[in-house]
Amino acid sequence: MKRYMSLWCGMLLLLMGSLAHADLTIEITQGSDRATPIAVVPFAEQGAQLPTDIARVIANDLERSGQFKPLDRGNLIASPSASSEVNYGDWRKVDADYLVVGRVNSDGSIQYELMDVYGQERMLGKVITPAGPDQSRAAAHRISDEIFEAITGIRGAFSTQIAYVTSQGVGEDIQYGLQVADADGHNSQQILSSDEPILSPAWSPDGQKLAYVSFETGRPAIYIQNIATSQRVRASSSRGINGAPAWSPDGRKLAMTLSKDGQPEIYVMDIGARSFQRLTRSDAIDTEPSWSPDGESLVFTSDRSGGPQLYRYDLASGEAKRLTFTGNYNSRGRYAPDGESLFMIHRGSQGFQVAKQDLETGRLITLTDSRAAESPSVAPNGTMVIFATQQGGRGVLSAVSADGNASFRLPAAQGDVREPAWSPFLN
């Protein structure tokens, strides 16, 4: 138990800092040499003005994915607003593989088109009507999703959200907040404020709720909160540790770490029946469960081999099998959406880094050069991983592409940011 309580203390110390209520700001830290050149022309405004630069949001979204390299606006050779105005030869001269043009109509609707420059064909053409001017940014993310999928064949995740924890103050005078924001860090909203630490936010599969750990009563308890209504229930407050909640793919169960019977073990709670099933039974610390996409197994962290490693628990057989063997520290395993690989925190020669392991071959590769990475969370389309790290002595969020070729950072204007969780698809 002393070993596990020391882990809690370490996690709490990492949360010390100042609170960020404002939006996060994206900083591209590494682009991919293999990114596809794309030109996104500023949208023409035909009698209506929106508070959002639609083309700028689209370009930023696509660049952030690591798979596209938008041309600088100063290098755009023309300013068409419709495919009928496009001279494909002009855009080949600036090496653009794809071209996005559009306009904001007088009724506030947004019309856009995507062209394949070398194929000289129109790939997409749609009209999107935002629910209001304040929804224009959401409309831009939706356009980004559609463009991304049309070119890559992969569903875009720009219309998703992230949850994260912020903190303000020092010593005993710290205020914690649970925030929800768009995937690019904008439109942040604080859904919970507390004098005590908040840990491990986890999205429900329908994107309507968050489970998290709160110390507001002086000891850890797991809560489930509706994001829209702020209504919440206490899911588990047994003696000892209540930690690391993880939703099953069908949303009916929560896996978690409890120590109510002694050692920290993995339990599964049936949310409707309010019943608990203990899965692991060992003298080790078993923690950080995460469900497989098919719901038939869980991956968890255990030190039963002498140091933190990842294990798979098969729900049908009740057997636990070790998955990681590279290095002496691998933790916080998270499945890729296709179930073929695991993302994790791996301690290598550069410190604690985000890594990816192929489950068939066992091959592990590190994706980041951060020395203090923690809390990885995978985008619902599997293309990016968001995680927490340190910059200038304070906590920030960073993200890296699943191949490690591109990365970006989301620092707050002030304060610490920790414990990121990427939402599922929301539409």
Query: pLDDT per position in the chain (427 positions), as tens?
Result: 434 444 444 333 333 333 434 688 888 888 887 899 999 999 999 877 788 999 999 999 999 999 999 999 999 999 999 999 999 999 999 999 999 999 999 888 999 999 999 999 999 999 999 877 789 999 999 999 999 999 999 999 999 999 999 988 777 788 899 999 999 999 999 999 999 999 999 999 999 999 999 999 999 999 999 999 999 999 999 999 999 999 999 999 999 999 998 899 999 999 999 999 999 999 999 999 999 999 999 999 999 999 999 999 999 999 999 999 999 999 999 999 999 999 999 998 889 999 999 999 999 999 998 789 999 999 999 999 999 999 888 899 999 999 999 999 988 766 799 999 999 999 7
For 33-152, the fitting CATH number among 3.40.50.10070, 3.40.50.720, 3.30.1370.10, 1.10.3720.10 is 3.40.50.10070
Residue ranges matching CATH 2.120.10.30 in the chain:
2-28+160-422
Backbone dihedral angles phi then psi of residue 134, each to the nearest 5 degrees: -75, -10
- Mind giving me the DSSP string for 232-273? EEEEE--SS-EEEEEE-TTSSEEEEEE-TTSS-EEEEEETTT
Do residues 376 and 399 make contact, with C-beta atoms less than 8 angstroms apart? no
Rounded (10°) CA dihedral 76, 79, 83, 87 = -60
The CATH code for residues 2-28+160-422 is 2.120.10.30
Neighbours of 47 (CB within 10 A): 9
Residue ranges matching CATH 3.40.50.10070 in the chain:
33-152
